[in-house]
Amino acid sequence: MLTKITIISKYTFKELLKSRILYITLVIGIALMVVTYVATEFTFGVPEKVALDFGLGMLSLSSLGISLFMGATLLPNEINSRTVYMVISRPVPRWVFISGKILGLMGVLLVNVAILSTMTMLCSYLLGGVINQAIIMAIIFNVLECMLLLLVVVFFSLFCNTILSSSISLVILMLGHAVKETQATGFVEKRPMVKALLEFYHLILPGFYKLNLKEFVIYNQQIDTSYLMNSFLYGSAYSLFLFCTIIYIFNRKNLD
């Protein structure tokens, strides 16, 4: 079965790569170089930080964008164009098909991350910045965040149309980043009902803020190892849970 997952992910990767999705990566890469050049002219003393900030920001935005929009069409396109029938009418279980599709899209995400992170680190380094472990960690956690978002959007695409599934996932992504700071506001502190509601939300929906290490990198803050471990386990466990749920539902879904 592993061979078949590899075959499906390989051709999914090829298909997506040829759809010129990585042109976005190229455009962002060029924009990164232009911004870095401009930053050296206008910022005093910290151009490498601007390059790092802009680079990591763009890396995060483009990868989340790919997860959100490509993820929302990953399965509906297969069903609408009946290509799924050509695959699962062969000795290929449904879970193998969906695993291969998700892995193929993850491959595209990894290429995007690899290109942009290399360019970001190169620009920062050329401007006198230091490549440290925190930057690498921020990039790894960005991949984990994109994987989680991809699984969220694929999960909703099993029930909703493309627009709805990407919209719901975008809202969950934004709430997942804002939930911690919202909980700490005076408005929430004074209202136990709202606080309970947010805690309940926290229990069920993904806390994307846990996977965002960019601020640690930009402000040179020390990242606690236990925080890293907890966040990594949280992201991985949530992704695994979602992945299993997607397989369970897809196995029972009417593909009409």
Partner 1 sequence: MIEFNGVTKIFKTELLSQPFVALKNVSFHVPQGSMVGFLGANGAGKTTSLKIIMDFIRPTEGSVEFTNLGKERFEIFKKIGFLPERPYFYQNLSGHEFLNFMGSLSELTAVDIQRGIAKWAPRFKIDHALNRPLKTYSKGMLQRIGFLATILHEPELIILDEPLSGLDPIGRKELKDVIVEVHREGKTVFFSSHIVPDIEEICDRVIFLKEGQLVYDGTVDKLLKSEDKTEYTIKFKADHTLKLDTRIKHQHSLPGGLQVVTVPETAKNFLINELVTKDIDIVGVEHIKPSLEEIFYHIKSN
Binding site for partner 1 (CB under 8 A): 4, 7-8, 11, 14-15, 18-19, 81-83, 85-93, 254-256
Q: Which CB sits closer to partner 1, 5 or 64?
A: 5
Smallest distance, Å, CB 11 to partner 1? 5
Q: State the helix-helix crossing angle for 162-183 and 133-157, rounded to 10 degrees.
A: 130
The Cα–Cα gap between 70 and 106 comes to 10
| Tally of CB atoms within 10 A around 61 | 13
Smallest distance, Å, CB 240 to partner 1? 25
Q: Which CB sits closer to partner 1, 19 or 220?
A: 19
Q: Which CB sits closer to partner 1, 6 or 183?
A: 6
Smallest distance, Å, CB 14 to partner 1? 7
The Cα–Cα gap between 148 and 154 comes to 10
SS3 content of the chain, % helix, strand, coil (to 5): 80, 0, 20
Q: Which CB sits closer to partner 1, 96 or 149?
A: 96
The Cα–Cα gap between 48 and 126 comes to 8
The Cα–Cα gap between 60 and 111 comes to 13
Smallest distance, Å, CB 71 to partner 1? 17
The Cα–Cα gap between 182 and 227 comes to 20
Smallest distance, Å, CB 104 to partner 1? 11
Q: Which CB sits closer to partner 1, 9 or 169?
A: 9
